[in-house]
Amino acid sequence: KQWYQRRVAITAGEEVLHKTCSTTLNADDSTARGCALQCAILSPAFKVRDFAINDVVQSGIKLVWYNPDGSVGGDMEVFNKGHVFPFSKMLTFYRKENLILEASYSNPIPHTQTVIGRFEVGPIKPAEDGSSTKVKVKVKVDIHSLFTVESAHTVTKIQVPVEEEKKEEKKDGKKAEKKEGENMETE
């Protein structure tokens, strides 16, 4: 092996990935092919069939959420293996206390650490009537294949009492406007 192949093998962690460096792909050739394809696409002289290149998640990602006492409340595979990215999903939870989420790989990976991260959403307070609050969490696999919890917010319903007098005044005002409008002539 040449010195740079040995260096890449050490840097990439050949022992961890259990794969050797491949020498069948020439960087200059792949760059030239990509440039030629892009030129053919942009040129009016050539007709190139439509095609798409999609990046996919190499290993599924699952979320586990915990109860306030530390026990597992549930789990869900958010992004399956082979799911196209970048992609985001909005998840809904009903909680009375803070929400703790743990993201991890659902499929075996060639690494000892499978946990991606632990996220805490809070403070969450119960609704006025004591029921659970609706929590919306947006999770995303971005263009670099990184999993993130992009945002979280609570949804609360507020009931506003409506006075009947104001309704009657509005109805009377609309009737008066209609009467004035009926007297107008247009050509």
How many other CB atoms are there within 10 angstroms of residue 54's CB atom?
A: 8
pLDDT tens digits, one per residue of 99-134: 899 999 988 777 778 889 999 988 888 888 888 888
Question: Which long-range contacts (C-beta less than 8 Å, at least 24 apart) are formed by 155-158?
Answer: 156/127, 157/127
Positive/negative CA dihedral, 122, 132, 147, 143: negative
pTM comes to: 0.60
Angular region, 38: left φ>0, alpha ψ -120 to 50, beta rest = alpha
pLDDT tens digits, one per residue of 35-59: 888 888 888 888 887 777 778 888 8
Tokens of 151: 């945002």
